[in-house]
Chain A
């Protein structure tokens, strides 16, 4: 009997400690949120925040899919360094390519990016993107901007944007979605396709063209 009483006392003591911890945590977290809002965004962070909002506005707009695709293409070409990305994605095959192949590839690659990302627009509903901090890579001048996409329907997604200041203008060179790099994913897939075509760039160009047509028919 005495033991039970002791145990009860212990439990109630634990609970009161627990309540104090909870109260403290709650305080800390609200303070953290408040600090978030007051902090000024760096130019890089503002660029990413604006771009994210433009994309979210586009996703929510009532335009039909073709209009959305064209609008997304404009955002992509304006804000991403598509040539550098295309070059990275082709890695060693870029050097072997003719000027005509490069132009053709870049055009189809852009189309593939547009198709890939706009096809997921429908799965977004009330998402918002919040920028929280950035880090400059002093060695090569890249700035990594951290952002988080949150919505009621899904788990939060972390997005890291890699930017360079190119001639006074920010350009996106890569995005990491939950630690998965957009550029590495494309490079890896294309390398596999190139391998299947005996390393011939025309084989990849053909596959990209077929994929573009197949997506149009869907």
Chain B
């Protein structure tokens, strides 16, 4: 009984949150349209939509500070664990998330990917001993992730503005909605929730964050040395999660083939 009220409560909460995110998102779409009308010569970074830059920069610094005193030291400790062991943990957590990947593969109408997810999960759960070993990749069946943020992108939902949120960092209203949806559609979460195993839920998410942070050590060290770490991270995020114009890159002009002077 208690479980049921809890469930209803959390569902209500999630629904409210989703609505808030959706309304926020709708509110942003006309802003998107406005910026494209602006004189494009004035906007060098026209592909990145960041109207909340001053707030974002502030939150970026806050997160960076928290990371420095809390997450980075913890990840240094976790880094002492031999990397094959850490890889096993990572494989296990990735395998555990495959229902979410499968649902999104299907929502994206990608039968090929859905099939890969099913076969990968079958192989890794059995031969890979509960997912600890990624045998499927060794067989040539590579991993891919699918999330609800991508599903929303696929049906044409606009990203909304770039947003830095506390602790979790860079996102957009679209990805934030996707993240919430992925939590809701994960059957593993239903099992944990219905059996009062919240502590397992937190442990799993905690270990996953810790592992990601530990893997990103070299990367964050380099980011820190960049001239403008904020815009470096923003560009990386935007290119992986929002921008679709991947052919935008340098090319030689006709004259360049002949003319070598400046």
* Interface residues of B, count at CB 8 A: 45
- Cβ–Cβ contact A180 & B248, under 8 A: no
B5 interface hit (Cβ, 8 Å):
no
- Cβ–Cβ contact B252 & A84, under 8 A: yes
- Cβ–Cβ contact A188 & B234, under 8 A: yes
Identify the interface centre among A112, A137, A152, A192: most chain B CB within 10 Å of its CB.
A192
Identify the interface centre among B225, B238, B257: most chain A CB within 10 Å of its CB.
B225
A183 interface hit (Cβ, 8 Å):
yes
26 example contacts (A-B, Cβ-Cβ < 8 A) are as follows A29-B139, A32-B140, A81-B250, A81-B252, A84-B252, A92-B41, A102-B262, A115-B225, A116-B222, A116-B225, A119-B221, A122-B218, A140-B251, A152-B83, A156-B137, A164-B251, A173-B251, A180-B236, A183-B249, A184-B249, A185-B236, A185-B239, A188-B238, A189-B235, A191-B45, A192-B45
Closest 9 CB pairs of A and B: A88-B250, A192-B231, A29-B140, A188-B235, A123-B218, A174-B249, A191-B44, A29-B139, A84-B250
Interface string of A184-210 (1 = CB under 8 A from B): 110111011111100000000001101
Q: Which residues of A contact B238 (CB under 8 A)?
A: 188
Given contacts A22-B123, A102-B262, A122-B218, contact A188 B249 (CB under 8 A): no
- Cβ–Cβ contact A184 & B228, under 8 A: no
Residues of B226-246 whose CB lies within 8 A of A: 226-228, 230-232, 234-236, 238-240, 243, 246
Q: Which residues of B contact A33 (CB under 8 A)?
A: 140
- Cβ–Cβ contact B140 & A185, under 8 A: no
The interface of chain A, by Cβ under 8 A from chain B, is 18, 21-22, 25-26, 28-29, 32-33, 81, 83-85, 87-89, 91-92, 99, 102-103, 112, 115-116, 119-120, 122-123, 137, 140, 142, 152-156, 162, 164, 166-167, 173-174, 176, 178-181, 183-185, 187-189, 191-196, 207-208, 210-211, 214-215, 218
Q: Which residues of B contact A155 (CB under 8 A)?
A: 215
| Total A-B pairs, Cβ < 8 A | 132
